[in-house]
Amino acid sequence: MFEQLPIATILLIVATCVVSIRAFRDGSLQNKLIFCPELILARKEYYRAVTSAFLHADSTHLTFNMLTLYLFGRNIEEAVGMERFLTIYFASVIGGCLLSLYLHRHHEYFALGASGGVCGIVFASIFLFPGSDVYIMFIPIGIPSWLYAILFLLGEFVGVRTQRTNIGHDAHLGGAIIGLLTATAFYPEIVGRSPKLYAAVIGLTLVMFIYFWRNPMRLPFSSFFRERSRQAMPIQDQPPTPEEVDAILEKVSARGLDCLSEKERRILRRASEK
């Protein structure tokens, strides 16, 4: 018998490839779809929490994500059906964006949200198909799923804290956990299939989220037990530097006033008051 074609997975990959490739060539399209906390909160452009999932940084990023989505997504779609597969994917996308929104709500921040949904599918797969190995590109042997899950959580948490790269570790982390919780809502029995691993993942997640709540600006571990600062926003009464003003004026010259963020407009207003 022929294997059933994973229609939803394939259509999702095609749609993501089309939008991503168009955005590679059209910067204005990327600007309209990209994840940005300031635009989501101030202008209520909530759609960006979903549309950012169709964007990628480059062709390598796109290829890796779509290959991962196909390898894991086809199995999940076959096991749970098209509707539940898409629910897990887009719940993961939104979950990743919500964590990013919380952590970067006071920052000027832009991100591509594609990987959050993929991470949610991978984590759902780990618990829907327990005991299997996870294969990563360029690594010739499989990694036990329980080990991959723990290393993934720890690695993404370190990535969120250090922010040494432009990778959206917060979206990865939020997407993975929401993907797992969504799969659990559909199939509560997966808890009993891997009880120790499930408890370890949820326990680690709770510790991480408590840390994020106690340290909204990603402060070092030494501040974990200190009283939370009442001032989450950076101090605004410092005058803008000449470099900041020059950079904004160059942006206006190249793209017009409409391209400025609210923060950039405030800087210009304060500079003109001198």
What digits encode the pLDDT tens for the residues 239-260? Answer: 667 767 677 777 666 666 666 6
Greatest CA separation for the chain: 77
DSSP string, 108-149: ---B--HHHHHHHHHHHHHHHSTT-EE--TT-SSPEEHHHHH
Binned at pLDDT 50, 70 and 90, residue 61 comes out as: confident
- pLDDT, residue 263, reads 72
What digits encode the pLDDT tens for the residues 203-243? Answer: 999 999 888 888 765 545 554 444 443 333 333 445 667 76
Token couple for 249: 């004026």
Q: With a cut of 60, say whether residue 274 has pLDDT above it.
A: no
Residues 6+ apart with CB under 8 A from 202: none
Residues 6+ apart with CB under 8 A from 121: 68, 69, 72, 73, 76, 88, 89, 92, 179
Of 12-26, 147-161, 196-210, 221-235, where does mean pLDDT reach its minimum?
A: 221-235
Q: With a cut of 60, say whether residue 22 has pLDDT above it.
A: yes
pTM here?
A: 0.77
Q: Which domains does the chain have, with CATH numbers?
A: 7-223 (1.20.1540.10), 242-272 (no CATH)
